[in-house]
């Protein structure tokens, strides 16, 4: 008799447990978890804490360097992101950057395999790009669509074509030290340009730069007399007080 009652009790408990599981209420406001890589989650938690993973809208600035990232597809889940640093990763291009409506600044420096900036056209408000040390980068055509761009730095790279900058009139600060640029026609008549570094590039004709009389500083030399002559001309046409960078060979 005891065993029979005990068996009935056990069956009743199982039935109640199953019933509780089947009718467990759900929170209608609970957001589905976004699938992010462990590395990206770690970057977010380090900056904003664990709770930010359930409220990605609060992420406006993010540093995620040296994480072996190969894709930026996850950026679309950060709708309010304004500043992003992903330097020293394994990016090849930025085509996975499908949506970055509020992104203002991106640092992709030292991504040694990066060959193209394709994808940045999906960041229409972008004002600042840092990609120094991207030695394989040769294609910056996508920035032709970044009409708000003000600052662009690419030091010690392999860039040889900057024609994508020709229609960007908000450029203020450009640093292309030690690249392979030969033609600077794209930099003519830049009304907002204040600071320009083109030193150590195989440029032969600097005349397009002479229209930028409002420059505050310019460095273009690479220890050749031809570059010294161009610097002399810039010194003549630039506004009073502008800083013109000379190399030792240029001093008479």
Q: pLDDT tens digit string along 205-247?
A: 889 999 999 999 998 876 556 677 777 888 889 888 888 876 5
Q: Could you tell me which residue, 214 or 22, shows the higher pLDDT? A: 214
pLDDT tens for 139-193 read: 999 999 999 999 999 999 999 999 999 999 999 999 999 999 999 999 999 999 9
* CA dihedral of 176, 179, 183, 187, whole degrees rounded to 10: -10
What pLDDT is stored for residue 33 in this prediction?
59
User: Which CATH architecture best describes the domain 51-159?
Assistant: Alpha-Beta Horseshoe (3.80)
Q: What would the pLDDT profile of 72-128 be if each residue is shown by its tens digit?
A: 999 999 999 999 999 999 999 899 998 899 999 999 999 999 999 999 999 999 999
Say which residue, 17 or 194, is predicted with more confidence: 194
Lowest mean pLDDT among 45-59, 64-78, 192-206, 234-248: 234-248
Per-residue pLDDT averaged across 124-139, rounded?
96
Q: What distances in angstroms separate CA 225 from CA 112, 176, 183, 238, one per listed residue?
A: 33, 20, 18, 20
- The pLDDT confidence band at residue 12, using thresholds 50, 70 and 90, is low
Average pLDDT, stretch 54-60?
Answer: 97
pLDDT at 25 over 60: no
pLDDT given at position 227 = 72
Q: Residue 150's Cα: distance from chain center in Å?
A: 13
Quick one: which H or E segment has residue 18?
A: helix 2-22
For the cut 70, the answer to whether the pLDDT of residue 2 exceeds it is no
Q: Where are the domains of the chain?
A: 51-159
Distance spanning both ends of the chain, measured CA to CA: 116
Would the pLDDT of 40 be above 50? yes
Query: What DSSP assignment string belongs to 152-192?
Result: EE--S------GGGTT-TT--EEE--SS-----GGGSS-TT
pTM here is 0.84
What one-character DSSP code corresponds to residue 34? Answer: P
């Amino acid at each position: 008799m005891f065993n029979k009652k005990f068996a009935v009790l056990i069956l009743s408990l199982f039935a109640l447990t199953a019933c509780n599981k089947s009718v467990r209420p759900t929170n209608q406001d609970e957001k589905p978890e976004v699938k992010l890589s462990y590395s990206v989650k770690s970057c977010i938690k380090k900056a904003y804490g664990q709770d930010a993973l359930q409220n990605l809208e609060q992420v406006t600035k993010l540093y995620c360097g040296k994480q072996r990232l190969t894709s930026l597809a996850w950026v679309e889940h950060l709708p309010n992101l304004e500043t992003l640093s992903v330097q020293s990763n394994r990016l090849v291009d930025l085509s996975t950057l499908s949506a970055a409506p509020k992104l203002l600044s991106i640092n992709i420096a030292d991504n040694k395999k990066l060959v193209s900036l394709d994808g940045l056209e999906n960041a229409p408000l972008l004002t600042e790009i840092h990609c120094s040390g991207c030695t394989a980068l040769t294609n910056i055509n996508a920035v032709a669509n970044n009409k708000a761009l003000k600052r662009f730095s690419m030091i010690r790279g392999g860039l040889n074509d900057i024609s994508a900058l020709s229609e960007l009139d908000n450029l203020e600060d450009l640093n292309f030290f030690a690249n392979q640029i030969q033609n600077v026609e794209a930099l003519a008549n830049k009304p907002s340009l204040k600071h320009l570094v083109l030193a150590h590039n195989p440029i032969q004709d600097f005349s397009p730069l002479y229209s930028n009389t409002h420059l505050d500083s310019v460095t273009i030399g690479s220890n050749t007399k031809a570059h010294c002559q161009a610097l002399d001309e810039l010194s003549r046409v630039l506004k009073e007080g502008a800083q013109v960078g000379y190399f030792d060979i240029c001093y008479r």
